[in-house]
Amino acid sequence: MRKLMAVLVLAATVTAEAGRKDWKIGLQCWTFNGKSLVSTIDYCAQNGIQHLEIYPGQKIGEGFAGKSGHTMSVEECGKLQAILKQKGVSLLSYGVVRAGNEKEWREIFDFAKRMGLQTIIAEPGQNQMEMLDKLTEEYGVKVGIHNHGEPTPDQVAKLLAGRSSRIGIAPDNGHWSRRGFDNLESLKRFEGRILSIHLKDLNAAKRDVPYGAGTVPVAGILAYLDQADYKGPIIIEYESGNQEAEVRKCTGYLKAFIETGKR
């Protein structure tokens, strides 16, 4: 019996570590919204961040006339993919987006499919959920429900009710903290439906600080995600201070947790 218990404990430990070590560290490009997308890609390549979440409206730079997003031409998408491949950086997701009708949503899904994205990060209306569920099946691209001021966790639960697992939650825990929602309890409500997370730590003034330096239980959030066998990316979005230096600290924190399971 002791041998059996030891084997089971070891198996559980190995499984958890395997899941955690598959986590992808990504950067939401809004972090560097005052810079070009190409310079953001360069920063990631130079600082060990292999994945990006892009948003609509960032200046692309390096010979591109337009801005990032689903209005990019097929030619521009191909050119951007070549730059990403050269730099060793991949795109995971796109958002945060909204759209008024199916035609506009299809333009977003077309872009996501063309760029090989896993997830669209969105803030849709309740009356769009059935249509989005069908589009996720048609395109093979998931939708993660995001939160700024809204939707609240209760509102997200209503949006997800009756929907397939192709639609889940992609929360910003910093916005939850600013609204007074408990980070861990809010995540636990959606266990198995968490597709991505914008991970933040905040100081007493509710401004972003490097992980572990603020009031948010970042270590507890990561430990919970590990225990819950979370398989999605951890997206760094940093909106105050010295972004370049402090994002490096956040990246180091995440890499240390992924390697050891402790912070």
Count of CB atoms within 10 A of residue 83's CB?
18
What ranges do the domains of the chain cover?
26-260
Distance (Å) of CA 104 to CA 57, 78, 214: 16, 21, 39
How far, in Å, CA of 104 to CA of 64, rounded?
23
28: closest CA among 57, 63, 2, 70? Answer: 57
Instruction: Write down the pLDDT at residue 171.
Output: 97
Instruction: Write down the pLDDT at residue 19.
Output: 66
Residues of the chain with pLDDT under 70: 1-19
Count of CB atoms within 10 A of residue 6's CB?
10
Buried b (16+ CB within 10 A) or exposed e, 195-215: bbbbbbbbeeeeebbbbebbe
pLDDT digits (tens, 9 = 90+) for 177-216: 999 999 999 999 999 999 999 999 999 999 999 999 999 9
How many residues would you count in the chain?
Answer: 263
Phi, psi dihedrals of residue 225, rounded to the nearest 5°: -60, -40
The H or E element spanning position 28 is: strand 25-28
Instruction: Write down the pLDDT at residue 18.
Output: 53
Phi, psi dihedrals of residue 188, rounded to the nearest 5°: -65, -30
Between helix 243-260 and helix 218-227 the angle, nearest 10°, is 40
Instruction: Write down the pLDDT at residue 15.
Output: 43
Distance (Å) of CA 183 to CA 118, 174, 223: 25, 9, 13
> Quick one: CATH architecture of 26-260?
Alpha-Beta Barrel (3.20)
How far, in Å, CA of 251 to CA of 236, rounded?
8
How far, in Å, CA of 73 to CA of 110, rounded?
11
Do residues 187 and 221 lie in contact, with contact meaning Cβ atoms separated by under 8 Å? yes
How far, in Å, CA of 59 to CA of 39, rounded?
10
